[in-house]
A and B are shown apart, each in its own frame.
Chain A
């Protein structure tokens, strides 16, 4: 049996192995006991040390991992996501490493952040923004930044809820041009026919919120 395997057994000491002549050691003359101890520890606990190094590496990776900027946490989530939501909205951490250091935020809660349910939208913020603007320009619909923001948030809510309840038959994932037109662009065009003055307005059978919600953004200019 190789000496390092022998040494992993708790009762076997490096000192006695050396004394028996089973191993040959090049020991420092000035401080023999300490060197013997560290050599023994390194061999005996190699597995633990390796795991710890992996954990450190993992933590470094998480430290740099970005939290999506527009991540919306939902109240219907599991673990202590609700608490996490409050913590996160008050502190707004940029990376997973920062989120982990917020008092009261558990690793389980942080794991929730990276579940597909929360953060994976197949259409990125930039893409939705660009496509909304591309399709609205030829129709002379001008979209102010706050309106694009609102449409983005509305879209995210729609995607999330549509996974559980049937709000629209139009494909959201992936987001087709027809969906974009029907849900977002057409209501914005229709909003031109709606006067901006105070109005008692009824939307019947609102369902997924289009056209009423995008119309509302457009008619009542935010700010």
Chain B
């Protein structure tokens, strides 16, 4: 989980700890600063994040060739190849 704000990241860490979510890593960084590892992404989810051309191009740059974006912003799923 990538979260730029430290307080929210602290909350997410607490949730992961309380619920023993062993597979979850909370990263307190802005997405732009965390791009190198994003290469390995197979699935990207986001909510309440404005999906604009800038974000898409940023994500696209780091995705493997087959990828999908699931957006919950307006309750619709968008699958892209």
Spell out A's residues near B (CB within 8 Å).
72, 150, 153-154, 157, 161, 165, 167, 186-187, 190, 193-194, 199-213, 215-217, 220
Separation of A201 and B18 alpha carbons in the complex (Å): 21
Separation of A26 and B43 alpha carbons in the complex (Å): 93
Instruction: Verify A202–B48 contact, CB threshold 8 A.
Output: no
Minimal Cβ-Cβ distance residue in B for A212: B1
Among candidates B4, B7, B24, B45, residue contacting A211 with C-beta atoms closer than 8 Å: B45
**What per-residue 1/0 map shows which CB atoms of B1-34 lie under 8 Å from chain A?**
1111101100110110011010110100001000
**What per-residue 1/0 map shows which CB atoms of B34-71 lie under 8 Å from chain A?**
00001011111111110000000001000000000010
Separation of A212 and B21 alpha carbons in the complex (Å): 11
Q: How many residues of B contact A (CB 8 A)?
A: 35
Query: Could you say which residues of chain A place their CB within 8 Å of the CB of B49?
Result: 204-205
Separation of A144 and B11 alpha carbons in the complex (Å): 25
Please provide the 4 A-B residue pairs with the shortest distance between their CB atoms, ordered closest to farther.
Answer: A206-B1, A205-B49, A204-B46, A201-B43
Among candidates A150, A202, A216, A217, residue contacting B38 with C-beta atoms closer than 8 Å: A202
Among candidates A153, A194, A209, residue contacting B1 with C-beta atoms closer than 8 Å: A209
Query: Could you say which residues of chain A place their CB within 8 Å of the CB of B19?
Result: 150, 153-154, 213, 217
Among candidates A194, A206, A213, A217, residue contacting B8 with C-beta atoms closer than 8 Å: A206
The contact sample of 10 A-B pairs, CB cut-off 8 A, is: A157-B11, A157-B14, A200-B40, A202-B38, A205-B3, A206-B2, A207-B5, A207-B47, A210-B47, A216-B21
Instruction: Verify B47–A201 contact, CB threshold 8 A.
Output: no
Instruction: Verify A213–B21 contact, CB threshold 8 A.
Output: yes
Given that A154-B19, A209-B1 are known contacts, is A204 also in contact with B45, CB under 8 Å in the complex? yes
Instruction: Verify B43–A194 contact, CB threshold 8 A.
Output: yes
Separation of A177 and B38 alpha carbons in the complex (Å): 35
Query: Could you say which residues of chain A place their CB within 8 Å of the CB of B75?
Result: 186
Separation of A172 and B4 alpha carbons in the complex (Å): 23
Instruction: Verify B72–A206 contact, CB threshold 8 A.
Output: no
Within the complex, what minimum Cβ distance (angstroms) separates B58 from chain A?
A: 10
Instruction: Verify A211–B77 contact, CB threshold 8 A.
Output: no
Separation of A56 and B25 alpha carbons in the complex (Å): 52
Separation of A157 and B18 alpha carbons in the complex (Å): 9
Instruction: Verify B12–A220 contact, CB threshold 8 A.
Output: no
Separation of A154 and B75 alpha carbons in the complex (Å): 22
